[in-house]
Structure 1
Amino acid sequence: MYILAIARLELLIARRNLWVAIAILLMVLFDAVLTMAGDAPTGMLGVSPLTVALTSITTLSVYLVPLIGLLLSFDAISGEMERGTLTLSLSYPLSRVEILIGKFLAHICVLAIAIGIGLGLTATLVIVQHGSQHLEILPLVRLLLTSLALGASFLGLGYAVSILVRQTGAASGIAIAIWLVCVVLYDLGLLGALVANGSGVFAKSVFPWMLVANPADAFRLINTPDITANILGSGVSAAGSVVGFTGQLLSLTLWPLIALALSCLVFEKAEP
């Protein structure tokens, strides 16, 4: 009951978060644009309109979903510390873990609503433009669930930053730095190492595992539908095949659990 009360309060706070609202609006808008713009390649490549749309949306989600997760969570604890409400929250008959779980449930609901609206709009546009025979439920459900897992990973990281830093301004800067490193710079670093190593041991043995160790890359690999869509969406699918679907799924499953467990551990030791 107390966890649900915390979740309800966090939902009200998230509703007033302007940056989150803008990010969600952009996600829905781009989903619609990418779906409508995906008609051109389908005839040339012989793939379904939904496949092209989901490949483009996957690339977009790799950037936006972690960003939304961090925007939701970077001030979840530090903001309460600055407002002086954390001490009041801790005076209630519930543990710190329960407080964090309540916040997590609210924030994952916000993510689910944003992603669900975007994918629902995509499905509607595909039906309107091409007919219901081109609609495939499994890829949509897979993209929804893996997007939530990706967002949950960065929610957990954002909570840890919020607890450790204790100041909202500094927490926001570190959150953006985490986003840049995990989503942008990590892949650039791997690409540079791959180019430098050529076809050596790194390219064959180390690179595939380092690639799937990043939840953003694991998400991208899982949602790259087939070899035709790989041409459109990503050039890393060959490396992903070395690790396999099990490794990719394991990465996306473990990251949220580890990140949330780390946040709970840090929160238990933090002083309000």
Structure 2
Amino acid sequence: MQNLEWRQIATLTGKEFRDRMRNRWVLAVALVFTVFSLVITYFGGAQQGQVGLRSIEFTIASLVSLVIYLIPLIALLLGFDAIVGERERGSLDLLLSLPITRLELLLGKYLGLAAALTLSTVVGFALDAVLLFRQFGMAGLYHYVGFMLSSVLLGLAFLSLALLLSVVSHERTRASGLAIALWFGFVLVFDLLLLGLLVASGGEFGGQMLAYILLLNPADIFRILNVFSLDQMRSLYGLTSIVPPALANPWLMGGAMVAWITAPLAIATWRFRT
């Protein structure tokens, strides 16, 4: 196995991160998260005739849906042209002519984009964290920090998928189309198909195996991870009868999310080398 030049990787990481900061991408995404999280936190219970901070469980339950829709889309749009964009601009050959390996280039790109995505996510949810701390103290902040961490992991998983698409695609337009299709597939279509099969079979489809099929979708892993973090959320989502206790272990689900981060990145590395 070749030795990695971490100085080269750090240089590429810094350049990629500075590019995102320079075009104010991080600021824009953080602002979107801040506005949406505050609106959902304060007005999420308007249909029940309540406005304002209600409970940490209700706040996290409301924000889970926001994260599942927004963060995968943002991560895919952020990373889909990381490699194919360089190839179309003709700068990829120039980069590879430098004393740097393909693996170092890929890791530098990924880590720079991951740093930008992580910073925008944490900053975007930070104001909500302050408000929850003032209202519920350290107990509420503890659960909210766990929610923020799982949100970052979800973004990194979809960023890995975006980088894989960027490596295997030869045109930027094709990569963007695949990114949108991937978002529809994981965020919208996957659960609808499972629900349709469950209803069509009268509840006989899959049995307990249905819960393990959810592990094939990082968005569902994120949902289960947060649903089982709080007792009231388990009953709120009604998943206690579907998801077996074995999947209630946050370390197991966190490991599954890490697998979704590393596996696409490993495949992208192998494909980029060939």
TM normalised by structure 2 equals: 0.86
Out of 263, 266, 269, the residue aligned to residue 268 of structure 2 is: 263
Answer with 135-144 or 101-110: which moved more. Answer: 135-144
Fraction of identical pairs, as percent: 34
Go from structure 1 to structure 2 and tell me whether the alpha carbon gap of 1:153 and 1:133 turns closer, same or farther (over 3 Å shift): closer
Q: How far does residue 125 in structure 1 lie from its aligned partner after superposition?
A: 2.3
- The question of whether the paired residues in 2 share the 8 Å contact of 1:208 and 1:243 is answered with no
Distance 1:251 1:177 in 2: 23
Could you tell me which residue of structure 2 aligns to residue 204 of structure 1? 207
What are structure 1's unaligned runs of at least 5 residues?
none
* 1:238 equivalent in alignment to 2:223: no
**Residue pairs, 1:98-177, within 5 angstroms:** 98-128=104-134, 130=135, 132-133=136-137, 136-177=140-181
TM normalised by structure 1 equals: 0.86
What are structure 2's unaligned runs of at least 5 residues?
1-6
- Number of residues paired by the alignment? 263
* Matched AA of 1:110: A
Higher share of residues assigned helix: 1
Q: How far does residue 23 in structure 1 lie from its aligned partner after superposition?
A: 4.5
Could you tell me which residue of structure 1 aligns to residue 226 of structure 2? 223
Question: RMSD of the TM alignment (CA)?
Answer: 2.6
* SS of corresponding position for 2:41: helix
Answer with 191-200 or 77-86: which moved more. Answer: 191-200
Residues 10-66 of structure 1: CA distance to partner in whole angstroms, max 9, x if unpaired? 11332366877655432221111112224669999xx96222111111111111111
Distance 1:18 1:169 in 2: 23
- The question of whether the paired residues in 2 share the 8 Å contact of 1:149 and 1:252 is answered with yes
Distance 2:73 2:85 in 1: 18
Out of 12, 34, 58, the residue aligned to residue 6 of structure 1 is: 12
**Residue pairs, 1:60-75, within 5 angstroms:** 60-75=66-81
- The question of whether the paired residues in 2 share the 8 Å contact of 1:74 and 1:158 is answered with yes
- The question of whether the paired residues in 1 share the 8 Å contact of 2:234 and 2:240 is answered with yes
Distance 2:160 2:184 in 1: 16
- The question of whether the paired residues in 1 share the 8 Å contact of 2:26 and 2:116 is answered with no
Answer with 53-62 or 118-127: which moved more. Answer: 118-127
- The question of whether the paired residues in 1 share the 8 Å contact of 2:32 and 2:124 is answered with no
Could you tell me which residue of structure 2 aligns to residue 96 of structure 1? 102
Distance 1:230 1:171 in 2: 37
**Residue pairs, 1:78-93, within 5 angstroms:** 78-93=84-99
